[in-house]
Amino acid sequence: MGTIVRGSGFVVGEHTVKNEQLARVMDTSDDWIRERSGIEQRYYVKDGTTTSDLGVRAARLAMEQAGVGAGDIDYVVFATMTPDYQFPGCGVLLQSKLGLGNIPTLDIRQQCTGFIYGLQVADALLRAGAAKRLLLVGAEVHSGYMPWKDHGIVFGTSDATVTDEERAFNTKYRDRTVLFGDAGGAVVLERTDEDRGLLAVKLHSDGSYAEKLYVPSGFAWRPYVTEAMVREGRHIPEMDGRQVFRMAVTKMPEIVHEILAANGLSIDDVSLLIAHQANLRINESVQKTLGLPDSRVYNNIQKYGNTTAATIPIAYDECRRAGRVKPGDLVCFVGLGAGFHWGAALLRE
């Protein structure tokens, strides 16, 4: 008896953005981005596409693969740090756009660990009988955070250029803006009588690191947004990249061992490790610490950049569609991100 993934799917923003294109608006280079992060390109949405739109598109693919219709879904859990509105959350927008009826919807905000937290929430709801078939979505539109005025310069659809002053402002944020992309992933979850599915989820958080990766604006200010705040860039994420890197390479292997030991398993039992895609160098370090061969690890950050709550469902969907997960395989998900939150999950195929 376990919670299983009946269907999965993902979508990306409409515009491909290669590293070189970012050099149009800030001082950066393809070499730097590849060398430090492994990223070669990412996708940004076209104007008007929102996080809930990406969630809806991904959910449709997951539902199609699961062979279920709108009337078959009775709960939505939506993980995002870039909701369409300050409120309400994206869950209810997705419910309406997909015509799911008046089912309950829940938004969770655990950033890069959102999907793993979402698995635990979903599993608990299914076990408790509060839901029979649930949509778990992780989607982000990060391009809204990008500090430049005109995305058309990056896309090559605008004749505008950046002034020296604008380039200097954009360059201030280059350590983080080059990392992120827009995408959405979704899974349809339900219970099965078979002896497979989600075995365990292990989660941690440490709020003393909250300001190591955060957006320094919100409802702590009155009024909560002023022109001065925008000029100061307080709507753009602040990140202590080295601190996040150090925590990720330490805590991710640690929690993988923790969840395996708690379930009487070892690293040799893991068929496939799917880690949050924040930086290829982080994941290479985690792989090395865990002593896993390339054949048992999957990374795709090269193509998509960091898509926060969407990275894990995207990677998992690619592995499912490519036949990289087979019946009986043990898949381990792991991630760490803003909060800090970190977690791992074990899924028996």
- Active-site amino acid positions: 112, 276, 306
In the complex with ligand UT7, which residue's Cβ is closer, 32 or 214? 32
Residue 306 lies near ligand UT7 (rule: CB under 6 A): yes
* Residue with Cβ nearer ligand UT7 (103 or 239): 239
Q: Least CB distance from residue 280 to ligand UT7, whole Å?
A: 9
Pairing state between β 197-205 and 183-192: unpaired
Buried b (16+ CB within 10 A) or exposed e, 86-122: eeebbbbbbbebbebeebebbbbbbbbbbbbbbbbbb
Closest CB to ligand UT7 among 96 and 171?
171
The total number of residues written for the chain in this structure: 349
What gap in Å lies between CA 260 and CA 269, rounded to an integer?
Answer: 9
4-33 residues in contact with ligand UT7 (CB under 6 A) are 28, 32-33
**From the list 126, 244, 309, 330, which residue makes contact with ligand UT7 (rule: CB under 6 A)?**
244
Structure tokens that stand for 223 in this block:
């009024």
- CA gap 222, 205 in Å, rounded: 28
Per CB under 6 A, 242 contacts ligand UT7? yes
Number of residues that bind ligand UT7 (CB under 6 A): 19
List b or e across 157-179, with b for residues whose CB sees 16 or more CB atoms inside 10 angstroms: eeeeebeeebbebbbebbbbbbb
Q: Counting contacts by CB under 6 A, is residue 147 touching ligand UT7? A: no
> Of 65 and 299, which CB lies nearer to ligand UT7 in the complex structure?
299
**CA dist., res. 275 & res. 170, Å (int):** 29
Footprint of ligand UT7 on residues 95-114 (CB under 6 A)?
A: 112
Please report whether residue 174 would count as binding ligand UT7 according to CB under 6 A. yes
The binding site for ligand UT7 (CB under 6 A) comprises 28, 32-33, 36-37, 112, 174-175, 178, 239, 241-242, 244-245, 248, 278-279, 306, 337
